[in-house]
């Protein structure tokens, strides 16, 4: 299989990460693991955005002196990396916008645009929203309030450098229309095309050092630093190797997916492809904008003070239940209402009752009826046949859903097999088969259950990697085979060897008792 390059946005380090950050990470991690298990050459990149006025303000607020912004961001970046480690995020590369190679890339990129006649200097009158790090023209703003975050903007009257974004407006519209998958989901594509019906203003790409020093200096004017959004977007090529490692860059670019939150779609789907076009670089293949998690109808955000700390949830419920909830609860791309009660309900219903109970009952019966060994089976029973049919269809269903970020659908398909296996226990009644002396049919049912669990373990591995390992270990699968599981293993029914010893341990998901009302 060919290369697969996927990116998260780089996260602003003015404060600690929250559930919204982890949502993007878990989604990209799942897709990355899926493509690795298909044999793909994957580059999964994430990182941090470390320049700009908000960083200056946050550093001062934390007691750092002016000029010590790097010391400040150095204290925050490990918090992000620690959370990604705890969430089992398997990123391949971490980019920081304070990395020297990134700063050189930004300067080389801007210099290329400048030498192509695409950058000019002019006096500017307008508005600037510090929380959003966004410039707004008079026509875009009402009452001095940011149209995005609804907070007061600052009136600016200063000289800056501008990039001739407007020259490529028609090209971008044509590109979006000619490439239906360029912006996803479809309704976001329509949203961007609606935005592009209005005249596109040239993009301010600098801040004067007299106002802000914490940024990358423009290569052709030492009195200015690069506007933080312009700097940040370039991470997608700097981290891939441009221009310092062109062999690596040519291998992975264009990116297959930029995965972002819907609030930053204009920067990624309008300004970024135009920046690349101006520099003569191919645009990414697809930009996928997901929705927000909302609490009581409001977007979860640091500024609103309603963020949920992923570390608290992981400590209470575990990593994989948290990952499962994020991906199963809503369709990726839509907004979702977050509540801890909903997470607990998913945990008890899907994980404890359905999957955990299936594994526990199956292993208990294997111990009881077959001395803890995988039985020899002819697989002629109706129950075994229904499990084999569902298991054999799972590969195609996952291969259709996961590359399209249809995580909820993929998990529904996996849990359909969980449901069929649980139903097979109730319908075949192994305890009755024992009493009736139907040893062959009993072996068929138990083998079918064990083999279904093996397939389930492979299928959930991209979503819940630790749970997949725990199931495989309890099935007695050797460590080397667990470490080298591939999606192709789903296609083959009958990989469990007769006579193989199981290794039953503690229940996967002990039920969480909720207060009775």
Three-state DSSP state, 300: coil
Predicted local confidence at residue 299, as pLDDT: 66
130-139, 308-317, 385-394: least confident range:
130-139
Alpha helices, H only, 116-197: 169-178, 186-195
Both structure tokens of 147: 């149209």
* pLDDT interval class at 144 (50, 70, 90): confident
Of the two residues 141 and 52, the one the predictor is more confident about is 52
Asked if residue 396 is part of any domain, the answer here is: yes
Asked if residue 399 is part of any domain, the answer here is: yes
- Residue 371: which CATH number? 1.10.730.10
Query: Residue 113: which of 199, 234, 224 has the closest Cα?
Result: 234
Q: Write out 343-400 in H/E/C secondary structure.
A: HHHHHHHHHHHHHHHHHHHHHHHHHHHHCCECCCCCCCCHHHHHHHHHHHHHHHHHHH
Asked if residue 143 has pLDDT above 70, the reply is: yes
Q: What is the DSSP secondary structure assignment for residue 332, as one 8-state letter?
A: B
Both structure tokens of 243: 């221009």
Asked if residue 517 has pLDDT above 60, the reply is: no
Q: Write out 394-427 in H/E/C secondary structure.
A: HHHHHHHHHHHCCHHHHHHHHHHHHHHHHHHHHH
Range 227-232 average pLDDT: 94
* pLDDT interval class at 138 (50, 70, 90): confident
Query: Residue 389: which of 411, 359, 421, 426 has the closest Cα?
Result: 421
Backbone angles phi, psi at 299, to 5 degrees: -60, 140
Task: Find out whether 374 and 366 touch, Cβ atoms under 8 Å.
Answer: yes
Asked if residue 136 has pLDDT above 90, the reply is: no
- Which of 11-25, 173-187, 370-384 is most confident? 173-187
The tens digit of pLDDT for each residue in 240-253 reads 999 999 999 999 99
- pTM for the whole structure: 0.92
Query: Residue 44: which of 233, 260, 239, 227 has the closest Cα?
Result: 239
The CA-based angle 355-357-359, given to 5 degrees, is: 70
Task: Find out whether 124 and 156 touch, Cβ atoms under 8 Å.
Answer: yes
Asked if residue 240 is part of any domain, the answer here is: no
Predicted local confidence at residue 54, as pLDDT: 86
Asked if residue 456 is part of any domain, the answer here is: yes
Asked if residue 412 is part of any domain, the answer here is: yes
Predicted local confidence at residue 302, as pLDDT: 58
Alpha carbon of 10 to those of 48, 137, 152, 248, 258: distances in Å? 4, 26, 25, 20, 11
Predicted local confidence at residue 515, as pLDDT: 64
Predicted local confidence at residue 466, as pLDDT: 97
Q: How many domains does the chain have?
A: 1
Asked if residue 38 is part of any domain, the answer here is: no
Range 502-517 average pLDDT: 85
Of the two residues 210 and 240, the one the predictor is more confident about is 240
Of the two residues 366 and 157, the one the predictor is more confident about is 366
Asked if residue 322 is part of any domain, the answer here is: no
Asked if residue 298 has pLDDT above 80, the reply is: no
18-22, 75-79, 177-181, 430-434: least confident range:
18-22
* pLDDT interval class at 1 (50, 70, 90): low
Task: Find out whether 188 and 262 touch, Cβ atoms under 8 Å.
Answer: yes
Asked if residue 464 is part of any domain, the answer here is: yes
Alpha carbon of 223 to those of 47, 98, 183, 217: distances in Å? 28, 19, 37, 8
The tens digit of pLDDT for each residue in 90-131 reads 999 999 999 999 999 999 999 999 999 999 999 887 788 877
Residues contacting 248, CB < 8 A, separation 6+:
240, 241
Residue 467 structural domain? 348-491
Predicted local confidence at residue 319, as pLDDT: 95
Predicted local confidence at residue 311, as pLDDT: 86
- What is the rounded distance in angstroms from the CA atom of residue 224 to the CA atom of residue 210? 8
Task: Find out whether 217 and 207 touch, Cβ atoms under 8 Å.
Answer: no
Asked if residue 397 has pLDDT above 90, the reply is: yes
- What is the rounded distance in angstroms from the CA atom of residue 445 to the CA atom of residue 378? 10
């Amino acid at each position: 299989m060919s290369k697969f390059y996927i990116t998260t946005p780089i996260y602003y380090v003015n404060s600690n990460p929250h559930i919204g950050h982890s949502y993007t990470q878990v989604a990209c991690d799942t897709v990355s693991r899926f493509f690795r298990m298909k044999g793909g050459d994957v580059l999964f990149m994430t990182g941090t955005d470390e320049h700009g006025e908000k960083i200056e303000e946050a550093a001062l607020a934390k007691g750092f002196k002016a000029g010590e912004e790097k010391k400040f961001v150095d204290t925050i970046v490990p918090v992000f990396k620690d959370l990604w480690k705890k969430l089992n995020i398997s990123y391949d590369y971490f980019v920081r916008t304070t990395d020297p190679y990134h700063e050189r890339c930004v300067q080389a990129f801007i210099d290329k645009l400048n030498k192509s006649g695409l950058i000019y200097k002019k006096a500017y009158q307008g508005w600037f929203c510090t929380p959003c790090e966004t410039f707004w023209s008079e026509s875009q703003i009402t009452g001095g309030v940011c149209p995005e975050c609804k907070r007061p903007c600052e009136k600016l009257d200063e000289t800056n450098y501008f990039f001739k974004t407007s020259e490529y407006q028609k090209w971008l519209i044509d590109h979006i229309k000619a490439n239906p998958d360029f912006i996803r989901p479809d309704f976001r594509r329509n949203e961007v095309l609606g935005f592009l019906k209005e005249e596109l203003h040239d993009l301010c790409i600098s801040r004067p050092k007299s106002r802000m020093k914490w940024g990358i200096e423009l290569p052709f004017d030492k009195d200015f630093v690069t506007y933080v959004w312009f700097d940040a977007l370039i991470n997608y090529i700097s981290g891939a190797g441009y221009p310092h490692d062109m062999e690596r860059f040519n291998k992975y670019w264009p990116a297959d997916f930029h995965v972002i939150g819907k609030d930053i779609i204009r920067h990624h789907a309008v300004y970024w492809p135009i920046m690349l076009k101006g520099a003569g670089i191919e645009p990414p293949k697809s930009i996928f904008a997901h929705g927000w998690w909302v609490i009581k109808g409001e977007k979860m955000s640091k500024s609103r003070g309603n963020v949920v700390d992923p570390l608290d949830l992981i400590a209470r419920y575990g990593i994989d239940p948290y990952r499962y909830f994020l991906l199963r609860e809503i369709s990726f791309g839509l907004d979702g209402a977050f509540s801890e009660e909903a997470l607990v309900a998913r945990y008890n219903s899907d994980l404890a009752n359905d999957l955990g109970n299936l594994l526990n009952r199956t292993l208990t019966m294997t111990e009881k009826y077959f001395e803890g060994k995988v039985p020899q089976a002819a697989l002629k029973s109706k129950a075994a046949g229904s499990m084999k049919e569902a298991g054999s269809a799972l590969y195609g269903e996952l291969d259709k859903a996961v590359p399209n970020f249809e995580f909820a659908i993929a998990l529904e398909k996996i849990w359909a097999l969980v449901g069929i296996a649980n139903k097979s226990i109730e319908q075949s009644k192994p305890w009755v088969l024992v009493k009736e002396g139907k040893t062959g049919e009993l072996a068929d049912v138990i083998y079918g259950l064990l083999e279904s669990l093996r397939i389930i373990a492979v299928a959930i591995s991209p979503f819940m990697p630790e749970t997949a390992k725990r199931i495989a270990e309890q099935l007695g699968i050797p460590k080397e085979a667990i470490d080298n599981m591939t999606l192709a293993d789903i296609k083959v029914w009958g990989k469990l060897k007769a006579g193989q010893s199981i290794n039953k341990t503690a229940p996967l998901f002990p039920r969480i008792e909720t207060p009775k009302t």
